[in-house]
Amino acid sequence: MAQALTAKGRATRARIVEGAAEVLRAHGVAGTTLDDIRGRTGTSKSQLFHYFPDGKDALLLAVARYEADRVLEDQQPHLGRLDSWESWGRWRDVVVERYELQGDQCPLGALFLQVGRSSPGARAIVTELMRQWQEQLARGIRALQGNGLVSADLDVGRTSAALLAGVQGGVSLMMSTGDSAHLRAALDTGIEHLRLSGPGRARTSCGPGTPLP
């Protein structure tokens, strides 16, 4: 549908999705109806179904894609500039702040629960989000390697995967407990692991019990 739309049609569809996201953030998925979204976006029922012929589930998937994009956008420009320890520190602070402001309400998680986390559409959105997020972290690690701050022997794929897993685990625990300590610890430990893999430190930590400089 989106590929066949005119520029005006794409703009209208985007406006509906953005407006729906605002309503869903304010009232939650369970408390939002299509009439609520129509009222917020100023669209008729026929217009809504023109852009989303499969109804509410199709619209929710579109909003999920929008929210997934926001996850990465909210980390910019820092996520795209991870070439120094200062930039990694700024990225860490932005991630913590984002999820502390979000609190225990996760719009993306609520949307996936509604449409079914295992549905092909939802699974594809999660997979693509995690792929892009991990790739940007990996690009940052490679930038550190290029600047001589991290060992060239470090496994970039494994390390970026561990960092992302730490963030996701920390966020999940924060949503359960209301405390961001686990998220902070995961980020701090992941970045410290990168620091300790620097060329000079890697040579001094070969054996068990060997003190670091």
Spatial separation of the C-alpha atoms in residues 45 and 150, rounded to whole Å? 56
Catalogue the long-range contacts made by 104-110 (C-beta closer than 8 Å, 24 or more residues apart). 104/174, 104/175, 104/176, 104/178, 105/25, 105/28, 106/171, 106/175, 107/21, 107/24, 107/25, 107/67, 108/64, 108/67, 108/68, 108/71, 109/175, 110/24, 110/28, 110/29
What pLDDT score does 111 carry?
Answer: 79
- Mean pLDDT to the nearest integer, 127-139: 96
| Contact criterion met (CB below 8 Å) for 63 and 115 | no
Which pLDDT score, from 0 to 100, does residue 107 have?
Answer: 76
Confidence of residue 118 (pLDDT cuts 50, 70, 90): low
* pLDDT > 90? residue 34: no
Mean pLDDT of 45-53: 90
Interatomic CA distance for residues 113 and 110, integer angstroms? 5
Q: Please check the confidence at residue 2 and state whether its pLDDT lies above 50.
A: no
User: Is the pLDDT assigned to residue 61 strictly greater than 70?
Assistant: yes
Instruction: Please report the pLDDT score of residue 203 as a whole number.
Output: 41
Residue 18, pLDDT above cutoff 60: yes
pTM: 0.82
Q: Which of 14-18, 42-46, 160-164, 200-204 has the lowest mean pLDDT?
A: 200-204
Give the residue with greater pLDDT, 202 vs 67. 67
In tens, the pLDDT along 81-107 reads 999 999 999 999 999 999 998 877 777
Q: In this prediction, what percent of the chain has a pLDDT beyond 90?
A: 57
- HSE-up of 60 (CA within 13 Å, CB side)? 25
pLDDT at 208: 36
